[in-house]
């Protein structure tokens, strides 16, 4: 990851790299569930990373895929389900019988559990092609003082999402994720976000 401003990240030296728990400790527990994040924090991860999806009724949940098919016992798109429907799904049984009954985690419950004891690396996504989660995300982050205490970095493959966030709060470090064949797009969008743009290869 390359960054253009590190003042709000409290980054370590290059000899002591940051540990970002991608989807939590997902080799030990079901990805993006509370057990996976608890294990990551227990093992001294500097950041816990998670992907946001938004339910039909507007709740932000932690899930990488657009559907619940791969990681739960349910089927269908997250955006077509209410939070109550998503919350009832088993997000652990496909990983291991040990985690049977583990529930899909919503963002606010994750933050309530850890507070400012850890740092968060959060990925935004479009919802049915639209930018709908950014305002709610910042509302939650402000509610728990994660921005003012420099506890969060926001990442996205969508420059428009990062631009929207930057307009709402210019003090949040941002990461533009790119595919290997999108390096030219990166050059175009560096100036769009401003000096707090970070760049990450995926």
Q: Which of 41, 108, 163 is nearest to 176 (CA)?
A: 163
Assess contact for 50 and 121: CB atoms under 8 A: yes
Matching residue, tokens 């970002």: 20
Strand ranges for 31-187 from DSSP E? 47-54, 60-62, 119-124, 152-156, 174-178
Alpha-carbon distance values, 128 to 42, 50, 53, 56 (Å): 36, 19, 11, 10
The sign of the dihedral angle between the CA atoms of 182, 177, 175, 125 is: positive
CB neighbour list of residue 116: distance below 8 Å, 6 or more residues apart:
144, 145, 146, 149, 151
Residues acting as catalytic residues: 22, 64
SS3 103: strand
């Amino acid at each position: 990851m390359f960054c253009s401003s590190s003042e709000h990240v409290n980054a370590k030296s290059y000899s002591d790299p940051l540990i970002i728990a991608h989807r939590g400790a997902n080799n030990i527990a079901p990805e993006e569930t509370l057990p996976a994040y608890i294990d990551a924090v227990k093992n001294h991860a500097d950041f816990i990373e998670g992907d946001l999806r938004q339910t039909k009724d507007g709740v932000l949940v932690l899930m990488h895929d657009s559907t619940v098919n791969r990681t739960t016992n349910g089927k269908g798109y997250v955006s077509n389900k209410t939070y109550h429907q998503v919350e009832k799904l088993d997000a652990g049984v496909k990983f291991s019988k040990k985690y049977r009954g583990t529930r899909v985690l919503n963002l606010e419950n994750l933050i309530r559990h850890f507070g400012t004891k850890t740092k968060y690396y959060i990925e935004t996504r479009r919802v049915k092609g639209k930018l709908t989660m950014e305002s709610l995300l910042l509302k939650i982050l402000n509610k728990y003082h994660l921005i003012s205490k420099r506890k969060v970095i926001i990442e996205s493959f969508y420059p428009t999402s990062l631009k929207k966030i930057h307009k709402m709060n210019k003090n949040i470090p941002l990461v533009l994720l790119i595919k290997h064949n999108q390096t030219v797009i990166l050059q175009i969008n560096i100036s769009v976000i401003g000096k707090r743009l970070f760049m990450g290869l995926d």
